[in-house]
Amino acid sequence: MSKRPTKEEDVGAIDLTPMLDVVFIMLIFFIVTASFIKEAGIDVNRPDATTSLLKKNANILVAISANNEIWIAKQQVDERDIKSHIERLYAENPKGALVIQADNDAQIEFVAKVVEAAREVTVLDVSVATNK
């Protein structure tokens, strides 16, 4: 004894399919347009500078701590492996730039090692992050 819906009940039903389609399209739009923030892995006390420029295409971030530890993509990296890490990240986005976030107390020797490794990988856009 199943009761079949009458015409009046059928007219009152709301079809939710178009609304779900719109929700999924909006979800896809927000996922695709979201910008993902890349971090080097540690916070450093950057040096102050009177002149500085904002780098918008920085996709390789290298941090050098006060203890001269080198961090790339949230991992501590041995100084012998700097080149391979930079090479991998540069292959992902060849138009990107490398930004070195060196601590005030970091030795310049380690900054030079990162710059040298970047030059060997042919990353020509290298800069040092500062506080304004």
In a domain, 81, yes or no: yes
Amino acid identity at 50: T
DSSP SS3 for 21: helix
pTM of the model: 0.63
How many separate domains does the chain show? 1
In a domain, 106, yes or no: yes
Condensed to tens digits (0 to 9), the pLDDT of residues 19-69 reads 899 999 999 988 887 766 566 666 676 666 666 677 666 778 888 988 888
Give Cα separations from 70 to 5, 43, 48, 83, 87 (angstroms): 70, 12, 20, 12, 15
- 8 has pLDDT over 60: yes
Which CATH number do you get for residue 75?
3.30.420.270
For the chain, what is the largest distance between any 2 Cα atoms, rounded to a whole number of angstroms?
Answer: 87
Q: How far is CA 69 from the centre of its chain?
A: 20
In a domain, 47, yes or no: no
Nearest to 39 by CA among 129, 116, 115: 129
In a domain, 76, yes or no: yes
In a domain, 111, yes or no: yes
Q: Give the pLDDT band of residue 101 (cuts 50, 70, 90).
A: confident
Domain region containing 64: 58-128
